[in-house]
């Protein structure tokens, strides 16, 4: 189980290598993705809070990266954080997500990206439910349900 300390270690030292790497040019991504998905995933955008019904849906399933299809989260780790974005306590695999310090907007956060294609997903915070205490706050447009 990932913990905040392990996430901080990943920020400093890097994450385990992904099973595969997907590399495309900006032009190739633009052709594949809708404008909204491109903005969120390739330009580190953020959708409006409570703009997706995904926040209140808790059906079993797996969530994958909207860009490359890498499996990222299991719905069994999803919870209602009341933050306005889908929230999870753990990724499917330790090497599915990459972590980077984000000091934009006059605050310090940890950005989470798909470790396979570098798509911006959202951020992770140490205020989630036990036992991990993690809250992966994810843009719904960066995910697709499998």
Are 22 and 117 spatial neighbours (Cβ–Cβ below 8 Å)? Answer: yes
Model pTM score: 0.94
Mean of pLDDT over the chain: 94
Catalytic center residues:
137
4-145 is a CATH 3.30.110.70 domain: no
pLDDT, tens digit, for every residue of 14-72?
Answer: 999 999 999 999 999 999 999 999 999 999 999 999 998 888 888 999 999 999 999 99
Residue 102 has pLDDT above 90, yes or no: no
Where are the chain's structural domains? 4-145
């Amino acid at each position: 189980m990932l913990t905040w300390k392990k996430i901080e270690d990943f920020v400093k030292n890097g994450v385990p290598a992904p099973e595969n790497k997907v590399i495309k040019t900006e032009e190739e991504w633009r052709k594949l993705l809708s404008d909204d998905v491109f903005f969120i995933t390739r330009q580190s955008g953020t959708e409006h809070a409570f703009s997706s019904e995904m926040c209140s849906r808790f059906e079993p399933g797996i969530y994958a990266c909207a860009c490359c299809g890498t499996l990222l989260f299991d719905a069994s780790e999803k919870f209602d954080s009341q933050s306005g974005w889908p929230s999870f306590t753990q990724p499917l695999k330790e090497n599915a997500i990459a972590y980077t310090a984000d000091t934009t907007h006059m605050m310090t956060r940890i950005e989470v990206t798909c470790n396979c294609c570098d798509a911006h997903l959202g951020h992770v915070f140490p205020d989630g439910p036990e036992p991990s205490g993690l809250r992966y706050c994810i843009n719904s447009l960066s995910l697709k349900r499998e």
